[in-house]
Structures are given as structure tokens and as C-alpha cells.
Structure 1
Amino acid sequence: MRYLFVGDSMTVGAAGDYTWRYRMWQHLRGLGEPFSVVGPRVTLYDRAADAAVSSDYADPGFPPHARRHLAGWGEGWRHMVPLIGDAVREHRPDVLLVSLGLIDLGFYTDAEETAANAARFVAEARAARPGLRMVLLPVIPNSRADLDPYFADQCAELNTLLAKVVADLDSPGSSLLMASYPPGYDILLDTYDGTHPNVSGEHKLAAAFADAMHQAWGIGTPYEAA
């Protein structure tokens, strides 16, 4: 099984982070089944350089081949639509694990436009590899939602619209799945800045994907923190 992680700053991580990608790699490795992590990028975001140029993962033992991804600081659905087709064609993933949307709502598009970009993303990915399966994570509102009721409403609306995209576009030959909102996720306890996951948050994000795949597709086992 070949996995491609797609996401924004919560997925790419910053210098010094473990990332939820690392937690998912640990989970997959513990299953004892063949798998690989694929993608065109391997680095973390470096705040000083304002670019994804860091290899300073919290665990230096995280192997380079497992660091692969298609995620970017400040990138959302609208940025990934033109990239996903080439990435899928080149790296041939079987499953996409996707966490996007917060940056779109924060800076670029409203909920309806963002959901339309998500549907375009699905179409582009399937055109490149028709049997591809995808798991989408609901948007997790950050601390801005506590101060901006409109932004909070947009996050909730996008999650409703994403669920509709999944329901409308799911097919037997290319399964599309909406993961559950991570149970108990608390931005005060599970992030280090109101947006980006800390260790407990990383485990909860990885668990959302792992549990969705196990429940819907029978892949692996329920998530257990290493």
C-alpha cells in the first residue's frame, strides 16, 4: 500500500516538530504489513527562512523515505488542485490522506468555493489514477474561530459541504471517505499555538485517519499511540 499525505501547515510541520505524518508512519510500521510513503516533498517549514527547507525533525531517526509528502505551509485546496494530478501520476499512491481547508477559509475562499476546489481536487486525482482511494479530514477550527464568529461558521459550513462532496463523489471503484472529527481534540491542549498540533494533537490526527481506514476499509487496526 502506497500512501500520500496531502495538507497545509498542520501536515507539513515546522522545524523541530514530529508531525502527525510521523505518528502515522509509526502506526503503519507497527502493523507489520508492506507499505510505503510517497510524495514529491520531504522537508519541514523553517520559520526563519520562511520556506520549507528544514530537515530538523524531532526524531532524527525518522527515515528520509518515510518523510515524503505533498504538504505546504500556507497551501490549501486551491493550491493543491493544480499539483495533485502530476504528483499522483509520478508517485502512484493507492491512498491519499488529506487535511486541507483551514488556510483556504482564512485567506482565500469561502466555504462554498473551497468545497468546489475539493471536488476539483478529487477529479484531478482520479484522472491520474482511477482506482485511488482518499480520506478527507474535517477542518479543525483554530483559535481564530473563538474570536471571529463568521470564521467559525465558515469552518462548520465547509465541513458540511465536504461531507456532501464525499457522499456525492464516493464510488465503488474509487472510495472517498470522510474521517470523523478527532474525538476530544482541544486547541488549548492539542496545539502549541492555537493551530498546529503538539504531540497529543499529532496522535489524534493520525488516529482519525487510521481509525477511518480500519472502520471503512478494514485496513490495519485501530490507532494506538506508540
Structure 2
Amino acid sequence: MLRLMFVGDSMTVGSAGDITWRYRMWQHLRGTVGGPFRFVGSRTALYDRATDAATSHDYGAPDFPASARRHFAGWGEGWYHMAPAIGAEVARHRPDVLLVSLGLIDLGFYTLPGQTAQNVRATLLAARAANPSVHAVLLPVVPNIRAGFDAQFAEQCAELNALTAEAVAELDTPDSPLLLTDPPADWDPRLDTYDGTHPNASGEHRIAGTFADAVHRAWGIGGPYRHPRDSS
């Protein structure tokens, strides 16, 4: 059985009432993978602003089964937090593929690009130490609305993406392949988020589609992502 783990920050975990791009990915794989698959991880909840913690199970998609809600994402968590935690998580849940969306929160609150890139490497190496054949797909930092008016922050996002590309190229191996995706096509925080950062329905489809197309092209998992705009 194919085992996939979402590793991410607030854009991946979602908050109470969200549908999440994890659900969009589940919908896609359910219709395209020619065999059983499972989402794994020690967490299932959404972030709840009322409690300021991941305590909600109020998903916006009622058909998203509890068995498919597993993940390893956290509101306010970045590479800084995952580097010391990912090894134990991978050892426990044995994912075949990591779907990773991290970095924006690091630059916003914790570390500059150079230190963040060190945490990228530490996270990938720790995951590989726990599972020598683990595959990983990394989404580049998708700039939020702040990058539109803060030139220094926009430069930091671009620098981290370049450093991440270097790390992926250096650490990629045949037994444990690493892949850095393209950014979601035509991403616009004014149209693809509900607050300048967190994805709305359009953004959820764009992120899920980017991951889905990447794993399909690289490893034959699933099929091309069918965006709602393609169904007419």
C-alpha cells in the first residue's frame, strides 16, 4: 500500500471550517491511483482560532473520512520545527512519499534563508535516516501578500527557493529521490487565498494539482490533476 505523509505549516493543516488541499489530493488520488493508498501521520486535527491550538475536526468537506485526515502539519510550524521531529515521525508511520510545503513561516518568524536551508537539509537527512528509501516532493515557498509590498521579504523567499533547489540537487539519490516542484501556476495571493496567505478553494486546487502532477510525472503515481476549470 502506498503511504503518503503531508508535512507542512498552516497552509497544509488548515483551520476550522477549511476543506484543505489535503482533501483535494485525496479526491484526486482516489480516482487515479490504481491501488490502495493511505495518508499517514500522528495528527488529524485542524487549527482552531478559538483555542489557538489544533483542536478542531470541523472539516469543510463532510465526506473527508477520518481515516484520510492524517498528516504531520502544524499552524506556525516550519522547517525549524520539523528538523528535530521528522525522524521519529517517519520511523513511526513509515511513509513512502513526503509531500512537503514549508518555509514561509520560517522566513516570517524564525530564521533567515541560510539557516532555513540548513534546516531543510537536516529535515531531509533525518527522514532518510528513518527510512532510507523515502521519496520527498517539496513545494517552493509560495510568497504571500507580504511579498508584494516588502521587497526584502520577497528576496528572502527567492533566496530560500534557490538554496532549497541546491539542497535537493545535492541530496537526491536513486534510492531516495527528492523533487522540487514548480510553483503553482499563476499563483496570485489576491485570488488564491482568503487572507493573503492561506489557500481558498482555488488555491487548494492549485497546490494539490502541483503535487499531483509532480508525483505523476516523476514516479507514475496517480494521473494528471483535473482542475475544476478543465471540467467544462
What TM-score do the two structures reach when normalised by structure 2?
Answer: 0.96
Q: What is residue 42 of structure 1 aligned with on the other side? A: 44
- What are the superposed Cα offsets for residues 97-155 of structure 1, whole Å, 9 maximum, x if unpaired? 00000000001101111111000000000000000000000000111111211100000
Output the amino acid matched with 2:221: I
Match for residue 108 of structure 2 among 95, 106, 109 = 106
| 3-state SS of 2:190 partner | coil
The CA deviation string for residues 79-102 of structure 1, in whole angstroms up to 9 with x for no partner, is 011111111111110000000000
SS at match of 1:14: coil
Q: Secondary structure at the match of 1:82?
A: coil
One-letter code of the match for 2:18?
D
**Which amino acid is 1:5 matched to?**
F
CA distance, structure 2, for counterparts of residue 111 and residue 222 of structure 1: 32
Partner of 1:66: 68
1:181-220 pair list within 5 angstroms: 181-220=183-222
1:26 correspondence with 2:27: yes
CA displacement at 1:26 relative to structure 2: 0.6
199-208 vs 31-40, which moves further = 31-40
Aligned residue in 2 for 1:16: 17
Quote how far apart the aligned CAs of 1:225 are: 3.1
Structure 2: tracts of 5 or more residues without a match: none
Code of the residue aligned with 2:108 in structure 1: it is: G
Residue 33 of structure 1: how far off its partner (Å): 2.1
Give the stretch that moved more between structures: 23-32 or 92-101.
Answer: 23-32
For the residues of structure 1 that align with 2:120 and 2:205, how far apart are their CA atoms?
A: 25
Aligned length: 226
Q: Partner amino acid for 2:203? A: G
1:171-197, Cα deviation, whole Å (9 max, x unpaired): 000000001111111101000000000
Counterparts of 1:119 and 1:81, CA distance in 2? 8
The 2-side partners of 1:80 and 1:208 are apart by 22
Cα root mean square deviation, aligned: 0.8
Q: Secondary structure at 1:174's aligned position in 2?
A: coil
Residue type of the alignment partner of 1:132: V
Instruction: Tell me the amino acid that sits aligned with residue 153 of structure 2.
Output: F
For the residues of structure 2 that align with 1:195 and 1:78, how far apart are their CA atoms?
19
2: CA distance, partners of 1:178 / 1:146: 23
Q: Determine the structure 2 residue equivalent to 1:151.
A: 153
Moved more, 211-220 or 37-46: 211-220
Percent sequence identity is 65
Give the Cα separation in 2 of the matches to 1:48 and 1:34.
37
Alignment-derived partner of residue 169 in structure 2: 167
Whether 1:119 aligns to 2:159 is no
The letter of the residue matching 1:51 is: A
Distance 1:219 1:48 in 2: 38
Whole-angstrom CA distance in 2 between matches of 1:16 and 1:225: 22
- SS of the equivalent of 2:192 reads coil
Once the 2 structures are TM-superposed, how far is the Cα of residue 219 of structure 1 from its aligned partner? 1.6
Classify the secondary structure of the residue corresponding to 1:165: helix
Q: Aligned equivalents of 1:225 and 1:49: distance in 2?
A: 34
Partner of 2:98: 96
CA distance in 2, matches of 1:59, 1:210: 20
Structure 2 distance, partners of 1:34, 1:223, is 18
